[in-house]
Amino acid sequence: MQLLNDPALKKINFVPLLEETLNECTTPSILKRGFTKCGLVRWNPTAADTSKIPTMDAGSAVTNRSSLERMRSGKAFLGGYIGEGKLQSFQDSGNEWIGDSQDHFLFLLWKKWQLYHENKKEAAMEKGSQKQERAETRKEVHEECESSKKL
């Protein structure tokens, strides 16, 4: 590093200085750590730092609940904030809000929530019926195969 005595780095001195720096400071362990920090490592699922992933205890996690249960809990949540009476007036209104004008946007939000859950419920029912149809078709095909084997 004797080239550092001259405060201005000249082009002619750059390459020898770079070579000297790389030879002194580049070791296999430094290179490996650099690649690891950048995420350029072999696939190893256990190498991921999971310490920053929040954990939930069994009491706080909402798991394995049916759509109907989630809808009921959502309704209870809304009822707790806006009151059961207002929720009932929303249900009684149908598609158009006929109550206090201050509650119009809240009614529209509630209506969107209702439509969202109804659509999800219909999609789940449709998916269930499609699943049933596929199972019946598979059963019919299997029976046809079995009967053709007997012939």
Range 78-82 average pLDDT:
72
User: At residue 133, does pLDDT exceed 70?
Assistant: yes
List of residues 6+ apart from 95 with CB closer than 8 A: 111
> pTM for the complete prediction?
0.37
In 3D space, the residue among 82, 65, 85, 64 whose CA is nearest the CA of residue 73 turns out to be: 65
Cβ proximity of 86 and 103 under 8 Å: yes
pLDDT-based confidence at residue 62 (cuts at 50, 70, 90): very low
Residue 10 is given by DSSP the state P
Q: Are 118 and 111 in contact (CB under 8 A)?
A: no
Residues 79/87, Cβ–Cβ less than 8 Å: yes
List the chain domain ranges.
2-43, 67-150
Are the C-beta atoms of 18 and 26 separated by less than 8 Å? no
- Tally DSSP H helices, then E strands, for the chain: 5, 0
Averaged confidence pLDDT in the chain: 75
Q: What's the pLDDT score for residue 88?
A: 82
Residues in the chain: 151
Angle at 66 between CA 62 and CA 70, to 5 degrees: 60
Name the percent of the chain lying above pLDDT 90.
0
**pLDDT of 107 over the 80 cut:** yes
**Measured between alpha carbons, how far is residue 111 from residues 47, 89, 106 in Å?**
47, 12, 9
Express the helix, strand and coil content of the chain in percent, nearest 5 each: 70, 0, 30
